[in-house]
């Protein structure tokens, strides 16, 4: 089944990154707020408060990781994590909005009264360190998030990157103020306020994304490397998680290679999932799953451990740079239509075409053969 040891290794790495984030945010945020408040630096105080909000975000993500680490596949764990993330995103969205108002109001006041703060060496030290540390944390979290398919970890890393950008703005303002530009600190605070407001707006949008009604999607799975049945079973198991529940699955079929025919036959399957993820987020989950199971994209239609395609997403028609739904080749692929029609014989595509009618038009459908599962049921695969 699934390589749990490998995944747990990445989870442990993610836990370590979040612990490091919490320690950093505690120190940097505390120093920034204390020094900023005592010196009258609006931008330094705002930076410190944002660090404390990032600390809360890291704490929530850490809790989510610890739940997966301790609960594993226990029933109900994924629902618990999803609910915690939804509540945390709502809290952070409101907090960021309040912080943006505080920063903008404070900056406006400083401009009116010509405030001239003296943050001292500590302010410069914290900002310099954040400019270096935050991008590194973001990069490490982004890689780890891809491996475990965690949107929460990815978004937390984006927050770290924003924190580094805010430190850069702060540093520029502090240096400029040292050269006699009294308005540099409140001007930097205005820039920080704008960044915080943007973070808050994006967080609020994620609140609505998490609150979306569950949709139905059909995913096509394929494998022609190594133990093909193992890879398919592992992929189906890994699909289960926050925002995605597998509701039905077709039989597994052996199919001739398509597109690039000089390779081993594939095993293919279609699963029906219920998801609260937006289509692009579901695509990210599928691609993270492929990478976690060793998929390396070297040539189009080439051999692969596992391939996971979004065939349909509700009745949506999507055309973006990264995603096309219904799948652009669905009408030509008997290996996808056969298991799809098995699951939903009367399925109608968004353009009004019947999936079964599309399948009937493909003579190669006769070459799509159901294979025996590990209990011996079904038809034995060829060759």
Each domain of the chain, given as residue ranges in start order, spans 4-210, 215-370
Count helices and strands in the chain by DSSP H and E runs: 10, 8
Q: What is the mean pLDDT of residues 83-107?
A: 74
Which of 320, 295, 291, 318 lies closest to 305 in space, CA to CA?
A: 295
Give the integer Cα–Cα distance in Å for 352 and 74: 41
295 labelled catalytic:
yes
Q: Which residue has the higher pLDDT, 109 or 74?
A: 109
307 labelled catalytic:
yes
**Does 4-210 carry CATH code 3.30.200.20?**
no
Mean pLDDT of the chain: 79
Which of 44, 151, 23, 7 lies closest to 88 in space, CA to CA?
A: 151
pLDDT in tens, 220-246: 999 988 788 888 988 888 888 767 889
pLDDT in tens, 250-304: 999 998 877 666 678 889 999 999 988 888 888 888 888 888 777 665 556 556 7
Give the integer Cα–Cα distance in Å for 144 and 16: 11
Q: Which residue has the higher pLDDT, 188 or 81?
A: 188
pLDDT in tens, 313-334: 999 898 888 889 999 889 888 9
DSSP strand pairing (244-249 vs 307-313): unpaired
Min mean pLDDT across 26-35, 50-59, 64-73 is at 64-73
Q: Is the peptide bond preceding residue 326 cis, with omega within 30 degrees of 0? A: yes
Catalytic residue among 295, 351, 353, 373: 295
What's 184's DSSP letter?
H
pLDDT for the residue numbered 120: 67
pLDDT for the residue numbered 373: 46
What's 332's DSSP letter?
G
Residue 158: burial class (beta carbons within 10 Å; 0-12, 13-18, 19+): middle
Catalytic residue among 309, 351, 377, 382: 309
Grade residue 15 by pLDDT with cuts at 50, 70 and 90: very high
For the entire predicted model, the pTM comes to 0.60
CATH architecture of the domain with residue range 215-370 = 2-Layer Sandwich (3.30)
Catalytic residue among 238, 251, 304, 333: 304
Catalytic residue among 50, 156, 185, 307: 307
pLDDT tops 60 at residue 249: yes
Angle between helix 42-71 and helix 184-210 axes, rounded to 10 deg: 30
pLDDT for the residue numbered 381: 34
pLDDT in tens, 366-378: 888 888 643 334 4
DSSP strand pairing (324-325 vs 318-319): antiparallel
8 A C-beta contact, residue 44 and residue 186? no
pLDDT for the residue numbered 299: 58
pLDDT for the residue numbered 272: 95
DSSP strand pairing (215-223 vs 266-275): antiparallel
């Amino acid at each position: 089944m699934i390589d749990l040891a490998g995944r747990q290794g990445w989870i442990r790495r993610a836990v370590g990154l979040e612990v490091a984030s919490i320690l950093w945010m505690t120190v940097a945020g505390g120093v920034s707020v204390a020094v900023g408040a005592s010196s009258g630096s609006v931008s330094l105080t705002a930076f410190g408060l944002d660090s404390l909000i990032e600390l809360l975000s890291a704490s929530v993500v850490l809790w989510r990781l610890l739940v997966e680490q301790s609960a594993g596949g226990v029933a109900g764990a994924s629902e618990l994590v999803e609910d915690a993330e939804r509540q945390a995103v709502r809290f952070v969205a409101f907090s960021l909005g309040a912080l943006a108002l505080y920063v903008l109001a404070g900056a406006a006041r400083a401009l009116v009264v010509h405030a001239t703060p003296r943050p001292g060496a500590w302010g410069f030290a914290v900002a310099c360190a954040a400019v270096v540390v935050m991008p590194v944390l973001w990069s490490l979290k982004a890689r780890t998030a891809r491996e475990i398919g965690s949107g929460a970890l990815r978004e937390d890393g984006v927050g770290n990157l924003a924190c580094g950008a805010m430190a850069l703005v702060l540093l520029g303002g502090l240096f400029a103020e040292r050269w006699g530009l009294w308005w540099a600190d409140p001007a930097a605070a205005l820039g920080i306020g704008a960044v915080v407001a943007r973070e808050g707006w994006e967080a609020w949008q994620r609140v609505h994304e998490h609150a979306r009604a569950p949709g139905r999607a059909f995913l096509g799975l394929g494998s022609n490397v190594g133990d093909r049945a193992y890879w398919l079973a592992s992929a189906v198991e890994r699909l289960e998680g926050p925002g995605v529940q597998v509701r039905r699955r077709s039989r597994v079929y052996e199919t001739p290679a398509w597109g690039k025919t000089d390779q081993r036959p594939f095993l293919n399957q279609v699963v029906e999932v219920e998801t609260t993820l937006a289509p692009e987020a579901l695509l990210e989950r599928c691609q993270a799953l492929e990478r976690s199971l060793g998929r390396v994209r070297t040539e189009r239609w080439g051999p692969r451990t596992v391939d996971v395609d979004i065939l349909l997403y509700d009745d949506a028609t999507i055309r973006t740079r990264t995603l096309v739904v219904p799948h652009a080749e669905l009408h030509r692929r008997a290996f996808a239509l056969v298991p799809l029609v098995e699951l939903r014989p009367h399925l109608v595509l968004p353009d009004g075409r019947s999936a079964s009618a599309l399948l009937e038009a493909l003579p190669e459908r006769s070459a799509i053969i159901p294979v025996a599962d590990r209990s011996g049921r079904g038809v034995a695969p060829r060759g």
